[in-house]
Structure 1
Amino acid sequence: MKRIITFVMIFALCIGMVIPTAAKADSVVDEKLGVPVVVYGANLSDAEKESVRKSLKVEQDGEYEEIIVDGKDLVKYITDGNDKARMYSSAKITRQDKGKGLVISIVTPDHITQVTSEMYATAMLTAGIEDAIVEVAAPKAVTGESALIGIYKAYEVSGETLDTERTDVANDELNLATRFSKNLDIDQDKVAELLTEIKKTIAENKPATKEEVEKIVNDQLKKLNIELSDADRQLLIDLMDRIRNLDIDFSKLSDQLSDMASKIKDKIGEIDPGFWEKVKQFFADLAESVKSWFN
């Protein structure tokens, strides 16, 4: 009996080692940065809105501000936006102190079908959002682009001001990212890595001409082994040249882009190739030990 109890205790310990525990949300009100802002897509039904509230754990946060994002907000942040667009994806944004960076979490991954957390992050940096915790949710399958508009509105409600020229470019960046991943069947993480690496190189090298931007784009496409048509390649060059011409402090942005590039590389597989073999061997050894207890 003692052996069985010992086995159960060891098994529970192993599960604790392998499965990370969720950190409890901090419910302390930040009197300097304000309470979290939750923004809902205007076309959510009452039931869908409640579903989103549960996904974003709004009730657990204690104090928060709730707002709605609609077509009028879309045309505010995006040139030639459609004010009749239907908006479902929603978000919660919590500002952080400067230097903390971006933490993006898609809490309903099965319902955000086109946009990854890395795509949101790289677009937000282009738009000028640098220090925040952002959670994205939707009650049903949607592409996810409208959540970015909600993030913009929530960020401004929390006390910041965004340059609409930058938000427009950031939206075009997100649209191009989803176009590459959907229509060209390029892995979403690979697309995010491409955009991040190009912007990181622009931040480091400070190209003075569009021709220099074109060289950076072509070098990164070659480096990441991504094939684009001439038309799509030109779209990417044009977008990155627009980013080059924005009034962005690239020296400040460079560190965040470097950190993001590192995270993306870790996510898509630059991990010690022997790690999972070690895990496998650990449990094999454990199984053999347990078997010996009953012999």
Structure 2
Amino acid sequence: MKKFTIKKVFIFMLIALFMLGTSVQVMADSGASDSDSINEKLGAPIVVYGDTLSESQREEVRSLLKVADATAVQEYNVTGEDIAKYINGDVHSNMYSSAKIVRQEEGNGLTINIVTPENITEVTKEMYANALLTAGVENATVDVASPVKVSGHSALTGIYKAYDVEGEELDKERMELASDELDVATDLAEKEGMDQEKVSELLAEIKKMIAEQNPATKEEVEQIVEDQLNKLNITLSDADRQMLVDLFNRMRDLNINFDQVKNQLEDIASTIKDKADELGLDESFWEKVGNFFREIFQSLSNMIKGLFN
């Protein structure tokens, strides 16, 4: 058998490192955050369960959110009355999606983990981040999970309740606006057939421009919306374009200072853009993912065979 050359050994090491790095990234992306350690300054993690959950489903969610010791967290239920109180929702709503909130020090920013992406069917982590920044939640790690398929809207109510019961009152108008923003995002993805991440990128870019330009009139807001639609090559119906203008004009009326979270908005937009660049826009998502892994495994196979040639 031929001896390995230094070059081939180096290639083999790169393959091993690549595979290790890929697996760690996937694990970090899909799992809930650790809740065993209590921050004595900021308080214990808060877990809010959908009130419709059965006892067995509640235990499943507790496991998904990595709540090993219930005495180490603050636990609450979110009800139909809560969804009516916080975001003017339907009091008869079924509440399944649940959330764990770990408050972070100032400057740490907002991290969203959707632990069960297969069961949160409409709301992406970028949509949650956009809406929570609008509501005023800026420094926290938030894990979202559901044992059944749901849109994901009710988890937002649970997050608001978590802050309210812990004495960190969020502005009601901003909470309602954030909920409406989430509705607009999911409507655009559904009605206009837009990619969910493209919708989140659009919303984040508009907020960035509002922070930079500080529009004084509705007409200026309308121009910002139009500019970003053109920049991202997005075509909307007149009704949906107006829906966006009205949403962001309400933000202007509330005088929300997005300049404070501009870096986070830039992170949301750039992360989505990076994903789009990686996947490409000429093929469907799952087709592109399949092609990606086929190419990777073919390349690895060829390289490993080459070690023995």
Tell me what 1:63 maps to. 72
SS where residue 68 of structure 2 aligns? helix
Number of aligned positions between the proteins = 284
Q: 8 Å contact 2:36–2:68 — kept in the other structure?
A: no
- 1:116-131 pair list within 5 angstroms: 116-131=124-139
**Residue 270 of structure 2 aligns to which amino acid in structure 1?**
S
Choose 188-197 or 254-263, whichever is displaced more: 254-263
Question: Pairwise CA RMSD of aligned residues?
Answer: 2.8
Match of 1:177 among 182, 185, 191: 185
Equivalent of 2:115 in 91, 104, 107:
107
TM-score by length of 2: 0.84
Unaligned runs of 5+ residues in structure 2 are: 4-8, 281-291
Using the TM superposition, name which of 121-130 and 215-224 deviates more: 215-224
Given that residues 203 and 253 in structure 1 are in contact (C-alpha distance below 8 angstroms), is that contact kept between their aligned partners in structure 2? no
Q: Deviations over 1:74-113 (max 9, x none)?
A: 122123x221111111110100001111100100000000
Counterparts in 2 of 1:226 and 1:45: CA distance versus 1, 3 Å: same
Question: Hey, what does 2:199 align to over in structure 1?
Answer: 191
| Residue of structure 1 in register with 2:149 after alignment | 141
Q: What one-letter code is carried by the residue in structure 1 that aligns with 2:82?
A: D
Pair 1:285-2:303 in alignment: yes
Q: Post-superposition shift, 1:12?
A: 5.6
Contact 1:102 1:133 in 2 (8 A): yes
Deviation of 1:265 after TM superposition, in Å, equals 1.6
Q: TM-score, normalised by structure 1?
A: 0.87
142 and 257 in structure 1: CA distance in 2 versus 1, 3 angstrom threshold: same
Percent identical pairs in the alignment equals: 52
CA contact (8 A) 2:50 2:77 kept: yes
Partner amino acid for 1:65? Q
- In the other structure, the counterpart of 1:20 is 24
Do the aligned partners of 1:34 and 1:158 also contact (CA within 8 Å) in 2? no
Mapped to 1, the partners of 2:189 and 2:219 lie a distance apart of 26
Alignment partners' CA distance in 2, 1:217 and 1:282: 45
Residue in 1 that maps onto 2:63: 54
Q: Where do 5+ consecutive residues of structure 1 fail to align?
A: none
Query: 1:283, CA displacement in angstroms?
Result: 5.6
Q: Give the SS at the match of 1:30.
A: coil
Aligned residue for 2:176?
A: 168
The C-alpha deviation readout for 1:5-56, integer Å capped at 9, x for no partner, is x9xx967655323321646836321011111111011111112111111111
